[in-house]
Structure 1
Amino acid sequence: MGASGLLARGPPPSPAWVTYVKYAILGLSVICLAMGAWATSIFGGASGVIISAGAGGMVIFVTIWTFIVYGGGLALEKFQPNNYFRIGLLIGYIFSVIFWLSGWAWSASLAGLWLSYSDTYSGFGLVSDDYYTPFRNLGAALAVCAGLGAVVWVLCIVNLVMFIKACVQDPNSSNAELGNIKHQPAAYPAAQYPAQPYGAQPQAYPQQPQAYPQQPAAPYGQPQPYATQ
């Protein structure tokens, strides 16, 4: 059954480009982590989290989750294949897709809010333009989180689909992947003999005649000597 492949241990055989997809997810997550940290630090402390409405904190959480799931999965695949539980990675990949969808969609809505706020009210000249600079920076940081987060979300979906496909096509992890190869002694074929019909007497092999030394012929009229046995 295909579901048994999702419950097996050991990394499933996947194309090499899937590994590069995971590296791309980790690399883009680093940038999102930096942008999320910047978004929460623009206004400083708790006020930064409140003004960003938690979107920056959500992005930080998602990136940390991504490092644990994808980074840990790559480490297990390379160094500890015996501890590579496919069902655990499957759950982690599914939650990654959900978290990234929430993170980039939340960031996109708030980025549009703060960018439109700073662009709309800064033109009236009611306050100094420096007042709107933090809001522009917040909107820009969340916009980067939204754009890169959407890319990471698509890559997570691709990785999830390829992971499920590889597990279904490989229901049981091979012993070679888990490092449990047992060396069996080489089996040599037994000697082949013609089969004898049931009830037949065993085949008799011809005996080689025994050679005896020949005695010289006796002269005519003399008794013939016999070789003593």
Structure 2
Amino acid sequence: MSKKEESAQEQPTSPSTVPVKSGNDLENIRDILFGNQARATETRLGELETRAEAMRQDLLNEINVQTSSVNDRLSKKIGDGRKEFDSRLQRLDEQQTTLVNNTRDALSTQQSQQTKKLSAEIEQNRQALSDEVERITADFQQQISETRKTLQDGLNRLQTELSERLLSLQSDMHRRDNDLRQELLTMTAWLDDKKATRLDLGEMLIEMGQQLQNNNQPEAADLDSE
């Protein structure tokens, strides 16, 4: 707290330094009594918004990490499947070539049949591997979609809850400000009618400040708990 604000808060205790006025003086008195609480509340609201943004960014980062991890696993699975496919295809081709070379002269008819059989096996293996790759791809894409939806739903719920909490706090602050303003105006009018002394006014303002500070303690505790 600055020296100016400390000096301003000490003024209500002296009868000679508390003028009974309206307009800007009431605003100054209000700022002296309640300015720190209002600024503290605004600071807490700003911190809450910053924390909400940080949590949102963390969730987005988690989505990116999860997506990247799933993509890496999918790429590895596809790569391994392709390597196995190429290896098996190469072995089948080598078997076919060896069989053709060994039976070319004596078994031309059998060679043709074996060639067709091996070609059919190659095609079956190719189709089986292709189906497996497609199945793995579909499974990982579904996992990615479900993970993204889960994280996005959590983020949306968090943003909604924080927005509702901020609106509630802002509405409560506005209501308290209006109540305080009305109470100050009413008190000023009453004091004018009663011809109260400056000492009486100072004591009443101090009592109001202490009461408002006590009322604000539960609200401050709620903000800190967030």
Shared fold per TM-score greater than 0.5 = no
With normalisation by structure 1, the TM-score equals: 0.31
The structure where helix makes up a greater share of residues is: 2
Which is bigger in relative contact order (C-alpha 8 A, separation at least 6)? Answer: 2
With normalisation by structure 2, the TM-score equals: 0.31
